[in-house]
Amino acid sequence: AQSVTQLDSHVSVSEGTPVLLRCNYSSSYSPSLFWYVQHPNKGLQLLLKYTSAATLVKGINGFEAEFKKSETSFHLTKPSAHMSDAAEYFCVVSITNSGNTPLVFGKGTRLSVIA
């Protein structure tokens, strides 16, 4: 079965420093992977997605993630954190490649940005 593990439940960084949110996946095939962000009391916003194209995926707001098959990882990074980046981040995998099955969410990583 497909699953994702977010290795940190909470990450705290200073404004202007790099962000690293870790995600490992488990899949029996080449998966489709996503990162979503959720601000407090808000819905989900898609940051970026990997669907078997380029392994380095660039998303919105300066975020990017690299798909590493050998490490079964899909870590999310950003060179310089901004206060507005403080939110909950979810690493997500698709159960199948058909699109007709639901997405499986990791438990989430809460990012705090300190001024």
List interacting residues with other proteins (CB under 8 A): 32, 34, 36, 41-44, 46, 49, 51, 90, 94, 96-108
| DSSP per-residue codes, 45-78 | EEEEEESSS-SEEE-GGG-EEEEETTTTEEEEEE
Report the alpha-carbon distance of residue 34 to residue 11 in Å, rounded: 19
Report the alpha-carbon distance of residue 47 to residue 36 in Å, rounded: 5
Burial class (CB in 10 A: 0-12, 13-18, 19+), 40: exposed
Q: How far is the CB of 44 from other proteins (least distance, A)?
A: 5
Give whichever of 12 and 14 is closer to other proteins, judged by the CB atom.
Answer: 12
Amino acid at the residue 22: R
Q: How far is the CB of 16 from other proteins (least distance, A)?
A: 27
Q: How far is the CB of 100 from other proteins (least distance, A)?
A: 5
Give whichever of 7 and 15 is closer to other proteins, judged by the CB atom.
Answer: 7
Give whichever of 10 and 68 is closer to other proteins, judged by the CB atom.
Answer: 10
Q: How far is the CB of 32 from other proteins (least distance, A)?
A: 4
